[in-house]
């Protein structure tokens, strides 16, 4: 069943959904739950649902730029929307009332316009059938245009809200590199002898390390300020990314090196399981570094002294790589796993403190911009496991 990106699919039902599935036994149970929930919704609200097996029609997954399945796509009415990940039902519960309201508003608008057409037809008989059809077509066109303008207005409001959120998140993230740079500079300054022009009590290797740290952190600050300026003048809801060939394991190890002082101060154990043959990913290295910095920062913050932090890479399929970061902290309550990436969501235990919430929303934006997914599980030894996927760099 070929689907044209420019030609929407219309049917008797105003809402049209595509459910992409695959043949993996692991995802079968999740697909069954999604289909059962959709069947419940269909009993109350009529809509068209098509099931697409990517094993039989892989070109459709490529057409919609899907990295992972199952995925639920609303293709009509516009705008198109993709729900993917391990919490599709939770996302659907959130979006379903909005979809219904938008469709009901559209149908009501068409109904009102049709009533006006009928009234005009009774008052003044049309000169010809052709004229009547032309008037009806024009009213329908205008109703579509009004609905489109309303959607654009809603989208613009969402963009303004997004800018506010991103500015708040980036301002929050500026604190980490600013603090690290300040500590490095202050250490150098306090050990510099103006009379001799040399650093005292600091070995050359440590001096070089501190200078490198200060330079690296100031570059990070410069990139974040660029982000702030871009969001302030941009007109889209996606952060800009410049994808290239990236060694994900190397980026992670570099981030761990930057955070070494923090986790060694808490005597935390870092367990890395990054295969040497882990394929490169197609991603923006600075953006992915931002994700890793946020996740590892949270892991260090929430893992107690002497605790364990795990980092693992996994080549899941020929199309994607999975990266995971686990900690032995208090973990995320199961009932909050679907909400932890929402903007400004705070766990009750974290009220009044910094922590999971602000940075995770930005992480989700970045991973989704790469057509990947990010989610959280409970670690087997307690704590939380954060996972994200990225597309493999094409060989």
* pLDDT at residue number 135: 54
Between these two residues, 215 and 125, which has the higher pLDDT value? 215
Partners of 245 in beta bridges: 282
Least confident of 52-56, 280-284, 312-316: 52-56
The answer for residues whose C-beta is within 8 angstroms of residue 107's C-beta and 6 or more apart is 14
Partners of 377 in beta bridges: 385
* pLDDT at residue number 4: 38
Please tell me if the domain spanning 1-126 has the same topology as the one spanning 244-391: no
Q: Which helix (H) or strand (E) holds 391?
A: strand 384-391
* pLDDT at residue number 64: 75
160-173 as b/e, with b when 16 or more CB fall inside 10 Å? eebbebbeebbeeb
Is residue 244 scored above 90 in pLDDT?
Answer: yes
Report domain extents, the chain.
1-126, 171-233, 244-391
* pLDDT at residue number 13: 67
The answer to whether the beta carbons of residues 13 and 46 sit under 8 Å apart is yes
Least confident of 67-76, 279-288, 311-320, 343-352: 343-352
State the number of CA atoms in the 13 A half-sphere of 7 facing the CB: 4
291 — pLDDT class (breaks 50, 70, 90): very high
Is residue 234 scored above 80 in pLDDT?
Answer: no
Average pLDDT of the residues in 234-256: 81
CATH architecture of 244-391: 2-Layer Sandwich (3.30)
| 1-126 to CATH, choices 3.80.30.20, 3.30.70.270, 3.40.30.10, 2.40.70.10 | 3.40.30.10
Q: What percent of the chain has pLDDT over 70?
A: 76
* pLDDT at residue number 346: 44
Average pLDDT of the residues in 295-301: 89
Residue recorded with tokens 């003044």: 124
* pLDDT at residue number 149: 81
Average pLDDT, the chain: 78
Residue recorded with tokens 């994700």: 291
Is residue 5 scored above 50 in pLDDT?
Answer: no
Partners of 49 in beta bridges: 17
Between these two residues, 11 and 195, which has the higher pLDDT value? 195
Average pLDDT of the residues in 76-101: 84
Longest CA span, the chain = 102
Average pLDDT of the residues in 264-284: 92
Phi-psi region of 50 (alpha: psi -120 to 50; beta: other; left: phi over 0): beta
pTM (2 decimals)?
0.49
């Amino acid at each position: 069943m070929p689907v044209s990106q420019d030609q929407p699919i219309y049917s008797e039902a105003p809402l049209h959904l595509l459910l992409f599935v695959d043949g993996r036994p692991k995802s079968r149970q999740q697909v069954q739950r999604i289909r059962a929930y959709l069947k419940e919704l269909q009993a109350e609200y009529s809509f068209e649902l098509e099931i697409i097996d990517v094993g039989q029609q892989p070109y459709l997954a490529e057409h919609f730029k899907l990295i992972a399945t199952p995925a639920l796509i609303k293709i009509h009415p516009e705008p198109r929307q993709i729900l993917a990940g391990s919490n599709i039902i939770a996302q659907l519960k959130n979006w379903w009332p909005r979809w219904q309201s938008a469709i009901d508003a559209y149908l009501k608008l068409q109904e009102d316009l049709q009533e006006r057409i009928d009234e005009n037809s009774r008052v003044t008989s049309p000169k010809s059938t052709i004229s009547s059809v032309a008037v009806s077509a024009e009213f329908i066109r205008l109703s579509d245009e009004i609905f489109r303008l309303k959607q654009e207005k809603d989208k613009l409001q969402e963009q303004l809200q997004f800018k506010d959120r991103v500015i708040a998140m980036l301002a929050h993230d500026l604190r980490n590199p600013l603090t690290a740079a300040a500590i490095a500079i202050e250490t150098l300054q306090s050990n510099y002898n103006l009379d001799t022009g040399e650093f005292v009590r600091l070995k050359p290797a440590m001096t070089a390390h501190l200078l490198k740290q200060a330079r690296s952190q100031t570059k990070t600050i410069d990139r974040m300020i660029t982000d702030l300026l871009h969001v302030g003048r941009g007109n889209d809801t996606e952060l800009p990314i410049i994808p290239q060939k990236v060694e994900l394991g190397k980026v992670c190890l570099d981030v761990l090196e930057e955070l070494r002082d923090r986790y060694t101060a808490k005597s935390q154990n870092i367990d890395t399981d990054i295969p040497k043959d882990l394929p490169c990913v197609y991603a923006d290295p600075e953006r992915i570094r931002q994700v890793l910095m946020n996740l590892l920062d949270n892991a260090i913050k929430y893992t107690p002294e002497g605790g364990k932090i795990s980092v693992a890479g996994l080549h899941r399929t020929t199309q994607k790589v999975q990266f995971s970061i686990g900690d032995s902290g208090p973990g995320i309550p199961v009932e909050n796993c679907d909400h932890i990436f929402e903007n400004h969501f705070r766990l009750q235990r974290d009220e009044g403190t910094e922590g999971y919430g602000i940075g995770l929303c930005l992480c989700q934006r970045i991973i989704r911009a790469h057509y990947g997914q990010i989610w959280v599980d409970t670690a087997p030894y307690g704590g939380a496991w954060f996972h994200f996927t990225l597309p493999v760099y094409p060989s």
